[in-house]
Amino acid sequence: MTRRDTATSGHPDARGLRVAVVRAGFHPEVADGLLSGALQALREMGLPDEGVTVADVPGAFELPLAARAAARSGRIDALVALGAVIRGETDH
């Protein structure tokens, strides 16, 4: 299956892609679960672990800046941003 076949097959195909995952680490118990789920989903779409770059940032506030830098790098095909803002936990 090629990536072009994805639209007609209904099955996402990530083989051959370079994916950046940017993770906010302020709530590690949440962030770790989100990362685990994202990596599993990417594997299920055929993306090997070496096709994924994970970048950690301190919190959700930094996610947009890191995501923009990754997107502008020209070294990735897709971007996943993971983080959580829990009411009452931060000033965001």
Tens digits of pLDDT across the chain (92 residues): 455 455 556 788 999 999 999 999 998 999 999 999 999 999 999 999 999 999 999 998 899 999 999 999 999 999 999 998 887 766 65
Residue 91 lies in a domain: no
Residue 90 lies in a domain: no
The domain that contains 47 carries what CATH number? 3.40.50.960
Residue pair 22/57 in contact (Cβ under 8 Å)? The answer is yes
How many independent structural domains does the chain possess?
A: 1
Cα-to-chain-centroid distance, residue 54? 7
Residue 67 lies in a domain: yes
Query: Domain range holding 65?
Result: 14-82
- Which residues are the active-site residues? 92
Q: Where are the beta strands (DSSP E) in 15-51?
A: 19-24
Backbone angles phi, psi at 39, to 5 degrees: -65, -40
